[in-house]
Every structure is written in structure tokens, then in C-alpha cells.
Amino acid sequence: MIHLDRQQIEVHAFQTAKGSNPYCGDAFYLDVQDDYFLCVLADGLGSGQYAYESAKAVTSIVEANPEESVDTLMDYSNKVLLRKRGAAVGILKVDFRKREFEYSCVGNLRFYVYTPAGKLIYPIPVTGYLSGRPQKFHTHKYPYEEQSKFLLHSDGFINVKTRELLGGNHSVWTMTDQLKAKQVNTTDDMSFIVGTLL
């Protein structure tokens, strides 16, 4: 569990492992600086130690290169998975100065942004997973408004009414509590990251 509360963003990340497995096959990394927010979620194929190693390899390479673009970070993530099990990967980078965000995903992760005007943004991910093989990426770029809310989750997540959750006048802690209450799935690793752009 990680909770970050800064001038430009408040965000909470939470995960659980499949069953009683000591290794979670999902991994995430969050970084907030004066001019950007960087977030990566990786879901290693399968579960257990090898899934964990793949997911951790992705978050480690992103953590080591925070200044790079989303496209470059996706490419690095793909390359670091060569001869590993592979992973679904989503990377979000928010530029506070330009007031825009970039998002790219390969695999069965889901990302939503809900604007104060009532618009739900849902970038379609590229199917498949990263494994070191040549891969096409599709990076989406959008402007954002203050008080926009977002949710990023792995496929072990039990779906909620996303528009209702993000569209309500809820704090990050309230949204987190509502999401945790729904996550009773013990048959897969699960991660979610929820936040508000301030």
C-alpha cells in the first residue's frame, strides 16, 4: 500500500497476492516530482515467483529512467522482459506544467479518467503482453482538468461501477475504501491505483 498526497495530486495504490502466495505477480511504482507524476503497473503472466520477477523487472527499469518519455519507457520495459515470462504493462505520466497526461498499455490492464465535466476517458490497450519480442505501442495523450479522477487496475480486480465511483464527490481515501471492500477475489493477483489530479 502506498499513499501520496502532494500539491498537484493525491493517489493511493493497493495490491493483494493470489490466495496465500508469498509472491504477488503484480508490481507498481509511483513517483511524484514538482513537474510530473509517473506511474507504472505491471502484471506478470501467471502468478508466483516468476510472475513477480517479470513485473518487478518492469517497475525497476521505469524507476531507473523517470525522465524518459512513455514510449521510451514502454520500449525499455519490453526489452527487460526478454527471456522472462512476460507481463502486461501500463505506464501513465502526467505533466503538471503542460496539464496533460500520456498513457500507454499492452495487455489486460484497465485505465479510466473521469473529468469534472462528466466525461469518462478510457484508452483502449494494445492486446497481448510484453516479452522482449518486437512490439507496437500506442501512446494516448490528453489534456486534463483539475479534479479529474483516475483508476488503473490489473485483471484480478473485481469491477465496480467506474463512472459512479469516479464521478461522485469522493475523496481518494473514500474511493480506496470502496474499492477494497469489493476485492474479495482470491483466485488472482490484484492491484489498483486510484487518484485525483488537483
Q: How would DSSP label each residue in 91-154? A: EEEEETTTTEEEEEEESS-EEEEE-TTSPEE-PPPBSS-BSSS-----EEEEE--TTEEEEEE-
Superfamily, domain 2-197: PPM-type phosphatase domain (3.60.40.10)
**Over its length of 198 residues, how does the chain's per-residue pLDDT go in tens digits?**
899 999 999 999 999 888 878 899 999 999 999 999 999 999 999 989 999 999 999 999 999 999 999 999 999 999 999 999 999 999 999 999 999 999 999 999 999 999 999 999 999 989 999 999 998 899 999 999 999 999 999 988 877 788 888 988 899 999 999 888 877 666 788 899 999 999
Q: Crossing angle, helix 49-64 and helix 70-80, to 10 degrees?
A: 140
When computed from its CA atoms, the radius of gyration of the chain, rounded to whole angstroms, is: 16
**φ/ψ of residue 88, rounded to 5:** -80, 135
Instruction: Give dist(CA 65, CA 111) in Å, integer.
Output: 22
Q: Which residue has the cell 483516475?
A: 150
- pTM, entire model: 0.94
**What are the boundaries of each domain within the chain?**
2-197
